[in-house]
Every structure is written in structure tokens, then in C-alpha cells.
Structure 1
Amino acid sequence: MFDVRRVLLLAEVADHGSLTAAAEAAGMTTSAASQQMSRLESETGQPLLERFPRGVRLTDAGAALAARGRAIRRELRAAEADLDSFARLDRGTLRLGSFPTVSASLLPLALTRFSRKHPGTRATVRSGVLSQLLEFLHTGETELALLWDYRWNRIDDDALVLTHLLDDPTVLVVPANSELLDVPEVSLTGLSRQDWIIRADNHPVAEVLRRSCRLAGFEPHIAYESHDYQEAQAMVAAGLGIAIAPRLALTNRRNDVRLIPFGSDVPAPTRRILLAQARNRTPTPAALAMTAILHAVADKFTGSALDRNQLGSVRHSSSARTGR
């Protein structure tokens, strides 16, 4: 097997008609170029150049090999152009992992910004539960993934690089005419007699409710098990009970429910929203660009508090009570 770099130099000799000009184009001395050609002839086992006082001429074998060298040079230049286009984000695909509440709140804005800034790069998203998202990262099916955790189930994986994006607090969801809107500070201990709407199928927010209520000294009475946050909101609006949810899950809030922050007696857990990538893989330019955008969008969500009506900060008199 012969050295491809010498084949590329032979192509330069063919193009320029002399070793001196080829050496100058390759950034070496004429003597070094001559030595490289001699070594290439030794590797191929036959003469490639006929040397004359005023230049060189390629043998038939040299001309054939030089043609191959030109083809290799073209492919290498095309490869450089490909890599340059990926670096400029003019083409390529970014593979993301996400979960429903972030996909319905933070991620759309990030994807919109990314597509506007880098229209040549296509973004794909795979949604899943936490275990699936971790698997996607480990297998390389996704480059980046949005994850979440609570203080009792911190993600501890040395194979991943985790970046904190924002904290997502738990809030109370009540009907728009709830008497709880008139309470200066809602405490979990004061909600022991309430009926609760809970997420079904061992959903993480169901664990949040049970943990929080037990910490406050009671077991919640479950009136309904919902399968998504819109269904939970509808049951709250109908007076069937109250609910808790991460704030990001309620970006699309019904106009007949309100959100109330918890008091400080037994703080409701706050989940972390994290951005993860595999530690053993160098981030692509597309991944780096999306990482910057996600941080900017997370800052926007952190810095913009929910509106006063949405948080239930506008108190009003009402004799109606939530359904028991």
C-alpha cells in the first residue's frame, strides 16, 4: 500500500509539469518533493516520472496514478465542503429527546428559533418517559435530551453531562371560583379535607402529591385519576376536586381554572429541567447551537412569571366552595 499524500503530490506534478512548481504548491522544497516521488516509485515498484534537465514527464503508470490522485483530491475537497456546511449549519440533522410537558411548553419556542436561525438543519424529536430518554442518549439515537428529576430521584449517570436549565415549581390547580383564591397563603396542611384529581398509571406527579401530603401529615383522598393535564384541568373546573401540577404542564391553562403557589409551611417539590448529552461524544455544531438556544428560552421561562390571574393573585369574594 502506498502513501496517499504522495499520490496527491504526483497529481500536483502532473498539473504543474514540474517538481519545482508542484513542491511550491504543496508547501515543500523541490528536494523534498523529489524524495517523496522516489519513495512513491519504490512503493509502486515502477517508474512514474521521466526526469529531464528542464522538467519531468509522467510515464503511463504515472499518468494513471495521477488521475487517481486528482479523483482523491476532488473527494477530499468535497469532504471539506461537507464538513464546512455542517459547521455553518447549512445542512444536517439534530436529534433531540424530550417529554410531553416540555414538548408542549419550552421546546416549541426553541425549535422555532433554531429553524429560523438555521433553516438548513433539520431537527427531529423523540418523546418518551425518563428511562426511554436515557436509553436514547446511551445508544446515540439522540444527541441531546431534555430530562427532569426531583430531589428523591436525582439522575446519577456518569456517562452523561447534565446541564440545569430551570426549576419547574409545583402549583395548585383550583376552579376559577374557588374559595382558596381568597386565602392569603395556601398551605398543604390546610388541604387535608380536599378531594384530589391525580394523574393515573403511577405518573410522577402522583408521587409528588402523595409525598407532599404525607409530609404535611395526611393521605390525599383521590376523587379522579386523569390521563393528561387537560383532563385534570377539566375535572378541576367541574368541581370534582383540586390538583397539583408542574407549572410548565399548565402553559395552556383553561380559563375556568386558576393556579396558586404553595405557602412555605410544607413546600411542594420543585423539579429540575435538565439538558443531557453523552459524555463520550463531542457535540456537533447543531447540538451546540441548540444548547445555546435552549438556555436562552429557559431564561425567558424563568424570568417571565405567570400572569396574576393565572396565579390566582387577584383575590375575589366568592361563597362557592370547591367540590368535596
Structure 2
Amino acid sequence: MLDVRRMLVLVEAAERGSLTAAAEALMITPSAASQQVSRLESEVGQPLLHRLPRGVQLTDAGRALVERGRAIRRELRAAQADLKSLATVDRGTLRLGSFPTASASLLPLALTRFSRKHPGIRTTVRSALFAELVDMLHTGEVELAMLWDYEWNRVDDTSLVVDHLLDDPTVLVVPANSELLEEKTIELADLAEHQWIIRADNHPVAEVLRRSCRLAGFEPRISYESHDYQEAQAMVAAGLGIAIAPRLALTNRRHDVRLVSFATDVPAPTRRILLARPAGRTPTPAAAAMVEVLHAVSQKFTGTSLHLTQLGTVRARSAG
């Protein structure tokens, strides 16, 4: 196989007219340049240069090889430019993983900000369930993935680096004309006789509801199992029951439902929104830039910045 470095010496000699000039351009000695060309001639089995008193002249074989060498040099320079661009977040692809609630709330703003700052980066997003997102991180299908957890199922994977983006509190969803909105405070135990809209298929929010209600001393009466939060809101608006949901899931709130926040003394768990990456891989410049953007955007979704209506507070039953 031909040695690419020797071919590049030949190209420089052809373009500059001498091995001495080629050596100067490549920052090697004239002797080293001459040896490289001689070894290349041995590889091809025929002379490539006529060595003249002043300079060199290509043979037919030399001209053929120089044309190939120029093409190789162009590709090598292009490769260097590509790597430089990737190192400065000028181009490339960033692969993200997400879950529906995040994809419908904070991720669109993050993607918009990122594309404005780094228009040369192509971003792809894979939406999946928790276990699938973790698998995609391990296999390298995504570089970053947004995850979530509750206090009873914390992400505990030493092969991942996990950043906490924000806390996503649980809220109560009631019809816009609900009598509950007339109460200054509501004890969670007072909701025992209400019908509840719950998420189907063993969804984590269904477990949140059952845990919260059991801590308040009752088992929730389920009237409907929904498959997404818009469906759950519709059933609440229709008067079929009340529901709980993470606040980020309700950034697209229906006009005919209202949200009631839980007081701090009510056993309604808060979900953590996380950003994870493989621990054994150095993040690309694009991934590192996206981490910064997601942290900044998460601040806008903290507290009351979601502009969700809060018309009351659910409280725990006071002692005695």
C-alpha cells in the first residue's frame, strides 16, 4: 500500500519545483524529503522524478501519482476543517432522547434557542419510555437524554452522569366550575368521596395518586383511565372526576379546567426532571452546549413562570 505521507512530499516537490522547497514547506530536512520520495519510488517500482541540476521534473508515473496525491491532500484538509468545525460547534449532529411531557414543555424552547446559537448543528430527538431512553444512552443512539424520577425510584446508575434540571410538582386538576375552587383550603382527606381520573397502563402518575391518597387515609375511586394528559383534562372538564398531574404536563391547559397547587405539608410527591449522559464518554462540544441551554431554559419553567392558574391550595388534615 502506498504511503500517503510520501505522496504528499511528492506533491509539494512537483508544485514547488524542488525537493529543497518541498522540505521547507513541510518543515523537514532536504535529505528526509529525498529519502521519502526514493522510498515511494521503491514502492511503485519506477522513477517518479527526474532530478535535475536545478530542481526536479515529474515522470509520467510521477504526474499520475501527483494528481491522486492532490485529491488525497484536499480530502485531508477537508477532514481537518470538519474536525475544527465540530470542535467549535459549527456543524455536526446532536442526538437527544426525551419523554412526552418534556418534549411538550421545556424542550421546544431549548431546541429553538440552541438552533439560533448553533445553526450549523442538526439536532435529532428520540421520544421513548424511561427504560428505552437509558438503553439508548448505553448504546450510543443518543448523547443526552431527559429522564425523570420520584423519591421512591431515584435514578441510581453509576454508568450515567445525571444533572438535576428542575422539580416538577404535582397539581390537582378540577373543572373550571368546581365547588372546590370556592374553598380557601382543601384537605386531601376531604377528596376521598370524589371520583378520580387516573393514567392507564400502570403509569407513574397513577402510582403518585395512589400513594398520596393512601397517606391521606383513603383509596381513590377510579372513574376513568386516560392514555394522555389532554384526555385526562377532557374527562375532568366533563365532570367525570378530578385528577392529579405533574405541572409540566399541563403547559397546554384547557380553558375549562383549573389547577390547584398542593401545600408543602400534603404528601404529593414532586417529580425531578433530569438530564443524563454516559459517564464513560466525553461530551461533544454540541452536547455540552445543549446542557447549558437546557439548564437555562429549565429556570424559566421553575415556580410560577409556567403561567398556570393557581386558584387554591390543597392542604393535609391538621392534627387533632
1:49 aligned residue: 49
1:18 aligned residue: 18
1:172-217 C-alpha deviation (Å, 9 max, x unpaired): 1122333433444444334333321111121110011111222222
Aligned-partner residue type, residue 49 of structure 1 = L
Structure 1 residue ranges without an equivalent (≥5) = 315-324
1:240 aligned residue: 240
Paired with 2:280 and 2:306, the residues of 1 have a C-alpha distance of 39
| RMSD across aligned positions (CA) | 2.6
Kept in 2, the 8 Å contact 1:186–1:262? The answer is: no
Aligned-partner residue type, residue 238 of structure 1 = A
Paired with 2:82 and 2:303, the residues of 1 have a C-alpha distance of 39
Structure 2 residue ranges without an equivalent (≥5) = 314-320
Paired with 2:305 and 2:58, the residues of 1 have a C-alpha distance of 75
Deviation at 1:163, TM superposition (A): 1.8
Normalised by the size of structure 2, how large is the TM-score? 0.87
1:176 aligned residue: 176
Identity %: 74
Deviation at 1:266, TM superposition (A): 3.5
Alignment of 1:103-118 (within 5 A): 103-118=103-118
Residue 161 of structure 1: SS of its match in structure 2?
strand
Kept in 2, the 8 Å contact 1:162–1:275? The answer is: yes
Deviation at 1:26, TM superposition (A): 0.8
Kept in 2, the 8 Å contact 1:185–1:262? The answer is: no
Deviation at 1:11, TM superposition (A): 0.8
1:137 aligned residue: 137
Q: Structure 1 pair 11/187, CA: closer, same or farther in 2 (3 Å)? A: farther
Kept in 1, the 8 Å contact 2:181–2:311? The answer is: yes
1:310 aligned residue: 309
Q: Name the stretch that deviates more: 111-120 or 220-229.
A: 111-120
1:99-127 C-alpha deviation (Å, 9 max, x unpaired): 11111111111122223333343322222
Paired with 1:213 and 1:303, the residues of 2 have a C-alpha distance of 24
Kept in 2, the 8 Å contact 1:20–1:30? The answer is: yes
Kept in 2, the 8 Å contact 1:174–1:242? The answer is: yes
Whether 1:257 aligns to 2:263 is no
Alignment of 1:187-266 (within 5 A): 187-266=187-266
1:292 aligned residue: 292
Kept in 2, the 8 Å contact 1:143–1:277? The answer is: yes
Paired with 2:282 and 2:60, the residues of 1 have a C-alpha distance of 45
Aligned-partner residue type, residue 196 of structure 1 = W
1:20-73 C-alpha deviation (Å, 9 max, x unpaired): 211111122323323333343444454433333322233333333322211110
Paired with 2:226 and 2:68, the residues of 1 have a C-alpha distance of 67
Paired with 1:304 and 1:8, the residues of 2 have a C-alpha distance of 63
Kept in 1, the 8 Å contact 2:261–2:312? The answer is: no
Q: Name the stretch that deviates more: 12-21 or 279-288.
A: 279-288
Deviation at 1:306, TM superposition (A): 4.1
Whether 1:68 aligns to 2:75 is no
Aligned residues: 314
Kept in 1, the 8 Å contact 2:99–2:129? The answer is: yes
Normalised by the size of structure 1, how large is the TM-score? 0.86
Residue 276 of structure 1: SS of its match in structure 2?
strand
Alignment of 1:124-163 (within 5 A): 124-163=124-163
Deviation at 1:311, TM superposition (A): 1.3
Kept in 2, the 8 Å contact 1:186–1:261? The answer is: no
Paired with 2:249 and 2:303, the residues of 1 have a C-alpha distance of 17
1:271-299 C-alpha deviation (Å, 9 max, x unpaired): 11111223344433333332222121111
1:318 aligned residue: none
